[in-house]
Amino acid sequence: MFVPNRLLFLFLFMPLAFCFSQEENNITAPVDSLYREDQFYIGVNYDIVNNSEGVKVRGFSGGLHFGYFRDMPFNKRRSLAIAVGAGFAFDQYGENLFIGETPSEETVFTVLDDATYTYDRNRFSTAVIEIPFEFRWRSSTPETYKFWRVYAGFRLGYAYYYQATFKQPGNNITQTDIPEFDPVRLSATLSFGWNTFNFFGSYAINPFFKDAFTTNGDKVDFRAIKIGLIFYIL
């Protein structure tokens, strides 16, 4: 299963509805000294390709992620906690790294120079099941629903779907079998903010492709940096 482009834009507006609903419900909720925070999350992000020689963003590059956390405070004030969860992440990387194959089914990686190649679209898409882990600090209390938070952690994921697409007049190429692709995804994450809106950042620890080289002989160290907003929901 993969989320089409149009659904990406739909999810951009969903967090606002969730956040307003959360705030209204919290106002009328009874005081709970054993409260937990931020059980659900949904985020949108802009993706930047990093560490590959000559590879750069071209066109739409972004995604969304959502899931559930189990919040587990471990101090008396409940300002410190760890959280483990499960979620999904859908991303499309618009870039200039062409991924194709030869007649003998060997993968070809070519950096497309705009001065040499003319094309309409070149994207790499992934759908990932994730297990996120966070170490959490927040300034919340049982009576306070607006607070500062800083959450740092990592996500372990498995890409159950991936696809490389290339389109130019009279030539459409789709790759769904890339032997060099590493489906195990590991990334470091950081989110921080006040109340409803929180900034989110993620850095891919391992590259997308193993032992891959471009036609120019450069190593394909294709990684992603994600920058965006994340909304936590009780």
Please state the domain extents for the chain.
5-29+37-233
- Whether 29 contacts 61, CB under 8 Å: no
Q: What is the mean pLDDT of residues 30-41?
A: 73
Helices (H), the chain: 5-28
Phi, psi angle pair for 6, to nearest 5°? -65, -35
pLDDT at res. 146: 81
Give the Cα separation of 231 and 14 in Å (integer). Answer: 10
- Whether 185 contacts 159, CB under 8 Å: yes
Q: Shortest CA distance to 39 belongs to which of 15, 68, 61, 66? A: 68
Distance of CA 100 to the CA centre of its chain: 24
pLDDT at res. 19: 47
Give the Cα separation of 195 and 49 in Å (integer). Answer: 30
Does the pTM surpass 0.85? The reply is: no
Give the Cα separation of 14 and 186 in Å (integer). Answer: 27
Q: Shortest CA distance to 214 belongs to which of 127, 119, 113? A: 113
pLDDT at res. 33: 64
The residue among 176 and 113 whose pLDDT is bigger is 176
Length of the chain in terms of residues written? 234
Q: Is the pLDDT of residue 10 over 60?
A: no
At 203, the pLDDT band (50, 70, 90 cuts) reads very high
For the chain, give the percent of residues with pLDDT over 90.
50
Q: Is the pLDDT of residue 86 over 70?
A: yes
At 171, the pLDDT band (50, 70, 90 cuts) reads confident
| CA triple 97-163-107, angle to 5 deg | 55
- Whether 132 contacts 85, CB under 8 Å: yes
At 32, the pLDDT band (50, 70, 90 cuts) reads low
pLDDT at res. 21: 46
Give the Cα separation of 224 and 190 in Å (integer). Answer: 14
Q: What is the mean pLDDT of residues 45-61?
A: 82
Q: Is the pLDDT of residue 155 over 90?
A: yes
